């Protein structure tokens, strides 16, 4: 109770943002802090491991002659430009099957071990098959087009390919809410009521149509509180997970949605498409300039005729995976930058600093709340719980200094404690 007293005493004179931040952090039970740290740190290593596993798989497929035999088989029965398509399809299918054990562990076993998943194996596997079928179709066609480009342009394919990749990503983002997301979840308009009124007010103040706010059954897969902005142009919408709707208070939901509206208003989707073009251009250039060297150095038995030869696809993917694994921190920092901007926007739009702070606590059931600076820099794609609460409390202090009145921190702290009491009770009854 000591910290509460400090806050109560502070409020009589001036609001102490540092003490309030600490009081929020202290509501998280030590046991949970340890469990989430184990989950999140493991996840970082597993991301790295999946990159290494892919590199090993591609290397083995080259080394045992699988790639060259597959190419020869398809090229015997059809022209080279056409033979590439079934080659790509089979190669990606084989790589997917080989990575299945790791995907199963990360996506199913581990999520259940940390109480984050709600699906049985059948449900999970169905989603897994759907996702991979869609991925296989899209990646086969796009790699086929990329190889046509490589063979046609020879030296400048990597620039044109990166721009084409950006266009494809834009198309996928646009199609996703209409054609892809409904394969996994049901989306319905948010019901009329106080919450919708509040969200519509924020949406109207931000200049976006509130008809684009929908609810989806996130609880079919996960216990995580989720919301997102998806789509592009005419398909843009803000989706609110039912997990958020069921568990969070109105202040919390408003603060989350104002954050999502921030992504929308600040044009983050468009910026991400440009970022993708840059990432692809550097990656393709890296592949273009290292392919010949790697083939000469290691490929004595691979019989790859050059970068345009489809038998070199595993080497192409190996080099690209190496690049993108090294780039994880760059991508994380890019995403975190947008998240911080959306946080700042969301605080101004929703004016719910305590709702924002307790949401950061709720999210700390799967994201480490206080990572070290280096850990946050390298591995986190969102600001840490602590920095988010700090931002909210500093914002609140500014508002109070400007004359806003406040009684909410104590109430919100009680709510913060009850978040963890509820989850402890649920654990006890399970
Ligand atoms: Zn965000």
pLDDT tens digits for range 219-255? 999 999 999 888 888 888 889 999 999 999 888 998 9
26-53 average pLDDT score = 92
Q: Residue 263 Cα, ligand 1 centroid: separation in angstroms?
A: 7
Range of the domain at 113: 35-177+270-303
Q: Residue 109 Cα, ligand 1 centroid: separation in angstroms?
A: 27
Contacts for 290-295: CB closer than 8 Å, 24+ residues apart: 290/319, 291/315, 291/316, 291/319, 294/318, 294/319
Q: Which of 290, 320, 284, 318 is nearest to 149 (CA)?
A: 284
For the chain, the average pLDDT equals: 90
Q: Residue 48 Cα, ligand 1 centroid: separation in angstroms?
A: 23
Q: Residue 339 Cα, ligand 1 centroid: separation in angstroms?
A: 5
- Looking at residue 357, its pLDDT comes to 95
43: in domain: yes
Q: Residue 120 Cα, ligand 1 centroid: separation in angstroms?
A: 28
Q: Which of 3, 17, 2 is nearest to 354 (CA)?
A: 17
Residue 179: other Cβ atoms inside 10 A: 12
The span from the CA of 105 to the CA of 338, in Å, is: 30
The span from the CA of 151 to the CA of 142, in Å, is: 14
- 420 band by pLDDT with thresholds 50, 70 and 90: low
Helix 2-13 vs helix 408-429: angle between axes, to the nearest 10 degrees?
160
213: in domain: no
The helix/strand/coil state of 189 is strand
Read off the pLDDT of residues 282-336 as tens digits, 9 standing for 90 and up: 999 999 999 999 999 999 999 999 999 999 999 999 999 999 999 999 999 999 9
Q: Residue 342 Cα, ligand 1 centroid: separation in angstroms?
A: 6
User: Looking only at Cα atoms, what is the longest distance across the chain?
Assistant: 84
39: in domain: yes
- 424 band by pLDDT with thresholds 50, 70 and 90: low
Q: Residue 132 Cα, ligand 1 centroid: separation in angstroms?
A: 25
210: in domain: no
Query: Alpha-carbon dihedral of residues 377, 378, 379, 385, nearest 10 degrees?
Result: -10
Residue 57: other Cβ atoms inside 10 A: 20
Q: Residue 47 Cα, ligand 1 centroid: separation in angstroms?
A: 20
Q: Tokens 């796009």 label which residue?
A: 142
90: in domain: yes
Q: Residue 348 Cα, ligand 1 centroid: separation in angstroms?
A: 15
133 burial via Cβ count (<10 Å: 0-12, 13-18, 19+): exposed
157 phi and psi angles, rounded to 5 deg: -60, -30
Total domain count for the chain? 1
> Which run of H or of E encompasses 109?
none
In this structure, what token pair is assigned to residue 107? 């996506």
By residue count, the chain amounts to: 430
The helix/strand/coil state of 14 is coil
318: in domain: no
Q: Residue 310 Cα, ligand 1 centroid: separation in angstroms?
A: 39
In this structure, what token pair is assigned to residue 269? 């989707």
- Looking at residue 203, its pLDDT comes to 82
Read off the pLDDT of residues 371-409 as tens digits, 9 standing for 90 and up: 988 998 899 999 999 999 999 999 999 988 887 766 566
- Looking at residue 4, its pLDDT comes to 55
- 429 band by pLDDT with thresholds 50, 70 and 90: very low
292: in domain: yes
Q: Residue 155 Cα, ligand 1 centroid: separation in angstroms?
A: 38
Q: Residue 347 Cα, ligand 1 centroid: separation in angstroms?
A: 13
- 1 band by pLDDT with thresholds 50, 70 and 90: very low
261-284 average pLDDT score = 95
> CA angle 209-182-224, nearest 5°?
85
CB 46, CB 284: distance < 8 Å: no
- Looking at residue 312, its pLDDT comes to 97
133-151 average pLDDT score = 97
- Looking at residue 324, its pLDDT comes to 96
Residues having C-beta closer than 5 Å to ion ligand 1: 339, 342
276: in domain: yes
Q: Tokens 């706010």 label which residue?
A: 213
Q: Residue 362 Cα, ligand 1 centroid: separation in angstroms?
A: 15
The span from the CA of 239 to the CA of 288, in Å, is: 40
- Looking at residue 3, its pLDDT comes to 55
157-183 average pLDDT score = 96
- Looking at residue 229, its pLDDT comes to 85
């Amino acid at each position: 109770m000591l910290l509460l007293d400090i806050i109560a005493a502070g409020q009589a004179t001036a609001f102490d943002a540092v003490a309030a931040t600490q009081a929020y952090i202290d509501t998280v039970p030590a046991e949970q802090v340890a469990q989430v740290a184990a989950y999140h740190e493991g996840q970082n290593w597993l991301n790295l491991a999946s990159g290494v596993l892919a590199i090993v798989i591609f290397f083995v497929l080259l080394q045992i002659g699988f790639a060259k035999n597959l190419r020869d088989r398809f090229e015997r029965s059809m022209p080279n430009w056409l033979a590439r398509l079934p080659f790509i399809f089979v190669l990606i299918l084989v790589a997917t099957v080989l990575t299945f054990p790791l995907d199963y562990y990360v996506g199913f076993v581990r999520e259940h071990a940390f109480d984050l998943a709600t699906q049985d194996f059948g449900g999970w596997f169905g989603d897994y098959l759907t996702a991979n079928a869609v991925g296989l179709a899209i990646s086969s066609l796009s790699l086929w087009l990329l190889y046509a480009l490589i063979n046609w342009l020879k030296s400048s394919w990597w620039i044109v390919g990166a721009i084409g990749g950006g266009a494809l990503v834009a198309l996928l983002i646009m199609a996703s809410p209409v054609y892809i997301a409904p394969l996994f979840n049901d989306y319905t308009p948010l019901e009329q009521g106080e919450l919708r009124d509040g969200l519509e007010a924020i949406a109207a103040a931000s200049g976006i149509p509130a008809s684009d706010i929908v609810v989806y059954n996130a609880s079919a897969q996960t216990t995580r509180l989720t919301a997102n902005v998806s789509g592009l142009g005419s398909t843009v919408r803000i989706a609110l997970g039912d997990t958020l709707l069921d568990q969070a208070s109105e202040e919390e939901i408003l603060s989350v949605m104002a954050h999502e509206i921030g992504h929308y208003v600040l044009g983050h989707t468009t910026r991400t498409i440009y970022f993708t073009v840059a990432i692809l251009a550097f990656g393709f250039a890296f592949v273009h300039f290292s392919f010949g060297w790697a083939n000469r150095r290691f490929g004595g038995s691979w019989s790859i005729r050059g970068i345009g030869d489809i038998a070199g696809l595993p080497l192409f993917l190996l080099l690209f995976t190496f690049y993108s694994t090294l780039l994880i921190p760059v991508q994380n920092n890019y995403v975190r930058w947008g998240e911080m901007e959306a946080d700042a926007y969301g605080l101004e739009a929703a004016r719910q600093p305590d709702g924002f702070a307790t949401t950061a606590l709720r999210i700390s059931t799967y994201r480490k709340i206080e990572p070290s600076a280096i850990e946050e820099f390298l591995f986190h794609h969102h600001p840490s719980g602590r920095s988010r609460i700090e931002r909210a409390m500093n914002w609140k202090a500014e508002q109070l200094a400007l004359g806003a009145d406040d009684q909410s921190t104590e109430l919100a702290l009680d709510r913060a404690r009850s978040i963890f009491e509820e989850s402890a009770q649920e654990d006890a009854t399970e």
